[in-house]
Amino acid sequence: MTDPSLPAADRTDIGPPTHPGPPSAQPVPTAASDPSPTAPDPRRVGSPLSDGEWHRLHPLTPLFRGGLFLVVVIGIVIANFRDRLIELFFPLPAGRSGRSAPPDPIDYVLSHDLAIVALLVIVGVAAILVGAFYVSWRFHTFRITGDDVEVRSGVLFRSHRQSPLDRVQGVNLTRPMVARLLGMAKLEVVGAGLDANVKLEYLSTSSAEAVRADILQLASGRQLAERALRGEPRTRREAASSAVSEGFTGLIAGAEQPVEDPASVVHIPIGRIVASHLLSGSTITLVVLIVGIVVGAILGTPWILFGVLPTVLGFGAYWVRGITKTLRYSIAPTSSGVRITFGLFTTVTEVLPPGRIHAVEIRQSVLWRPFGWWSITVNRLSGGSAAQSAADPFTTVLPVGTREDVAKVLQLMLPAMPEAEWPVVFDDGVLGPRADDPYTNTPRRARLLRLLSWRRNGFLLVPGVLLLRRGFIWRTLGIFPLARAQSFGLEQGPLARALNLAAVTVHTITGRVTGTLGAVDRDAALALFADASAATVAAAATDRSHRWAGEEDRS
């Protein structure tokens, strides 16, 4: 039975486990006590896996889910028999042995004629592991109904997770390099809540693409007209050969794109990606760290090199990973939302539905200013914790781009913003201030609190959006859709009270974009508080973005 008091994404099925059913290509029968929900309208889905019935994941899923465990076991074995392996490939002269320690288990087994017993034990353990992975796969099922995406897993302790379609914040498709070669992918449905994501790992690439499209179609409220089948049925051997061939092609050509998706609206040259990382704060930190280590080794003891070398190598790997994950970046509009893809070795793709953006920030460091480069980050529900949301790779929707790139991405992120308001976003907000500045800035009496940026530090309320402009060394412009705002706040400390100032805060979901602007005139802050509160109520009352293609689109 299911406890109805638990949240939908964290309900736990404590009843008896479902008896294993037929192979993964067929629906998995459910228990009699588990009523089948309403299946999606066949006209709204295009995958046979989106029929409201229980299905299993890809048959190779146990290999990938248990692969890390097997790698650890192999590493332990190699570490314990390292000397024997060295002697196997590099024999020592007769009478000499590289193993001065007592005999290892292999010597004991060989000296007591236990080779057959040891082999049987190894085969038995391997069989138990394979059986455990197989049983786990048999009991790991999912289904897509007209209202939810559900996943059941576990053998002894059963879990049942649900993600309501009307709370879907996005759908991620991740293809690790090895999985790509075998034509497999991970699908993650991002829910609106803490630890509310539902993962389907792994599916075949074609099934993952089709299931993702179905989930987004069902979440949008759009009814499909006709979906033509792509290609003719193939034999299993032809399908396997094609999957491997497409995997190698994808490594070279880039992320696979469905035919109906348009090309990326932004193209970032590799040289710009590398140069932007060379001119970043992480590079400066790495250089300072290396210089400090060298100076310490010269003036102090050379052993300092061995003590901090792992830290330098780890930081260097992080720096290189920052470049590789940005390669093959693309962003494009689709019928279901904005599609973002990046990654050289592991390809990650997310389709972000409309109305799921809670805040947008345009940022430029002083090192990028001569080249006219900018980056764009967003706040959006990720279904993870606060720390995971801050480290979410999808928060950066534009790693580095020109003014034209920024304009294209902003139009995708904020499609409802009136065209007449775009000049106050970039010309006045990003590049400003300039003559006749429409922003309300920090008054002159508080310039010591914002010594370099008091002319830029300001806000502007336009229809449907609040703009917060900050910084001189790191220029930022925060854009907050009022329909997504949670609340507004005013703060005033002793110093601000003496100077008749206040700090304004727009509260959104946790993320990398902050909504606080300090050193604002008190009367202007009070006026903004009243105007923004009223505008937020009006924007939320007319917002229909949770079902962005509803009944009016079905005709």
449 lies in the same domain as 535 = yes
Task: For tokens 């972000």, name the residue.
Answer: 352
- Looking at the structure, tell me whether residues 428 and 533 fall in a common domain: yes
Q: Count the residues in the chain.
A: 555
| Residue 335 belongs to some domain of the structure | no
Does 359 share its domain with 492? yes
Give the domain extent around 218.
8-57+140-253
What DSSP letter does each residue of 487-507 carry, written as one string? EEEEE--HHHHHTTEEEEEEE
Strands, E assignment, 191-315: 198-204
Dist CA 461 CA 424 (whole Å): 10
How many structural domains compose the chain? 4
**Same domain membership, residue 248 and residue 109:** no
- Residues 360 and 426 reside in one and the same domain: yes
Structure tokens at 272: 């710009």
Nearest-angstrom CA–CA distance, 478 and 392: 18
Q: Is residue 547 part of a domain?
A: yes
Please state, in angstroms and rounded to a whole number, the distance separating the CA atoms of residues 30 and 112: 52
Asked, for residue 106, whether it belongs to a domain, the answer is: yes
Per-residue b/e over 167-195, b at no fewer than 16 CB within 10 Å?
bbbbbbbbbbeebbbbbbbbbbbbbbbbe
CA–CA dist 549, 351 (Å, integer): 15
Asked whether residue 14 falls in the same domain as residue 159, the answer is yes
Q: How many helices (H) and strands (E) are present in the chain, helices listed first?
A: 16, 20
Say whether both 408 and 281 belong to one domain.
Answer: no
Check: CB of residue 200 under 8 Å from CB of residue 392: no
Question: Domain boundary at 224, 253, 282, which?
Answer: 253
**Using CB atoms within 10 A of its CB, is residue 164 exposed (0-12), middle (13-18) or buried (19+)?**
middle
* Tens of each residue's pLDDT in the chain, 555 residues: 344 333 443 433 333 333 333 334 445 544 444 555 677 777 667 788 888 888 888 888 877 766 656 666 666 666 666 666 666 665 655 544 444 555 566 667 767 777 788 788 878 887 887 788 888 888 888 988 888 888 888 888 888 888 888 778 778 888 888 787 778 888 888 876 666 788 888 888 888 888 888 888 887 765 443 333 344 444 545 545 555 555 545 444 444 444 344 678 888 898 899 899 888 887 887 788 778 777 777 776 666 666 666 777 777 777 788 888 888 888 888 877 788 888 888 888 888 877 788 899 999 999 999 999 999 999 887 655 555 554 555 688 899 999 999 988 988 888 877 777 788 888 888 888 888 889 999 999 999 999 889 999 999 999 889 999 999 889 999 999 998 898 999 999 999 999 999 999 999 888 889 999 999 999 999 999 999 999 999 988 887 765 556 544 444
- Determine, yes or no, domain membership for 453: yes
Task: Give pLDDT tens digits for 193-240.
Answer: 666 788 888 888 888 888 888 888 887 765 443 333 344 444 545 545
Number of other residues whose CB lies within 10 A of the CB of residue 257: 18
| Same domain, yes or no: 362 and 373 | yes
422 and 532 housed in the same domain: yes
Domain co-membership, 148 together with 127:
no
- Is there a single domain that holds both residue 494 and residue 529? yes
329 to 244, 265, 301, 340, 537: CA distances (angstroms): 23, 11, 44, 7, 37
Residues 366-398: tens digit of each pLDDT: 999 999 999 999 988 765 555 555 455 568 889
